[in-house]
Structure 1
Amino acid sequence: MDLDDSPWGENVKSVQDSEWSKLSSDFVNAGYREGITAGKEGALQEGFDEGFAQTGAPLGRNLGMLRGFSSALASFLASTSAQEHTERDQLLNEARTISSALSDVRFSDIDPPDTQAMEHAKEHMEDAEDVVASEELQEKRDMESLEDLMDRMGATPSAKQANRPTPEDVAQLEQRLHTLAQTLGLTLPSR
């Protein structure tokens, strides 16, 4: 007996077509999801590599070099007595001031915001006000705010900056460090 001759033939064919459509749709959806996931992973790795090479590593290296050089100058000046005592104390004070200011700089203070990522996130949110950093980033910022609050509690109001350091502040500290090094007949290592 042929399925077309059967009284249920039309129903069976309809169920088969429906199951085939559902199965086909499921495979298409699964393939789409896998493609999106693979694309995101590839873009994420590429973005990390680019950010690390063009932003993270150079900024971190420069800040570390400045901190190390200023600390070394302060240590050198503290241990030497070859110069006039007053002049040495002035130079030592400047080296310690620069070193202290550099130690307060966090990477998040000098890292430029990723405006492209922020714009992309806004495009995919229903309301731009809902753009929220990842939980991990938010926890880090909360911890930094708590550290700032504790620092301000332990210092006299004029001793601590009310605002976080900026890239311009770091550039000024770097220039002061260059000047101090030149005064001592030294050269600050280049970037």
Structure 2
Amino acid sequence: MTFRYLLFYKPYGVLTQFTDASGADGGTPRPTLKDYIPVPSVYPVGRLDRDSEGLLLLTNRGQLQHRLCSPQFAHPRTYWVQVERIPDAAALNQLRNGISIQNYRTRPAKVKQLSAPPPLPPRDPPIRYRKTVPTCWLEMTLTEGKNRQVRRMTAAVGFPTLRLVRSGIAHLRLQGLEPGQWRDLTAEEVKALHQLLR
């Protein structure tokens, strides 16, 4: 069997699956991975919410998929997060040290405020702006992936997430892809991925 490893830039509004059950029930079908990726038998490693964007790794290698999704291996995932208002040092330290959300304490995270917005195309549809409320961008690197964790973390310290883009999975980066584009990993990227799991 030939193993495939793909990187995909998931656009806003796309489901991280290849079928949409709501469309089968007579509802309006929503965009899925099938609308973008013509490669058979590959599956996403982890998930991105429908209202999140960015890097998604797909493979047909089940063992790799299982290992990367397992909390015990704690591989880093990096996000660019646009939040409402400007977090102060206390809020950033809370995010770094771990906070309690839904009876769960998050692991320590790397968090920094970006001096300028990251190089991203405009979102379609655009985020909700309020003229009197500033926004800023954070870069957050987590080693866990609880459901809607980044959004819950920023909300818990008083700075709701407006836009969320995953920019990195371990050593893999979003650069070079536009929303809706995918590519195969290079041999060097695959080798580094396997070394990560040793």
TM range (shorter): under 0.3
Higher CA-based Rg:
1
Q: Which has the higher helix share?
A: 1
- Give the TM-score normalised by structure 2: 0.24
- Relative contact order (alpha carbons < 8 A, sep ≥ 6): 1 or 2 greater? 2
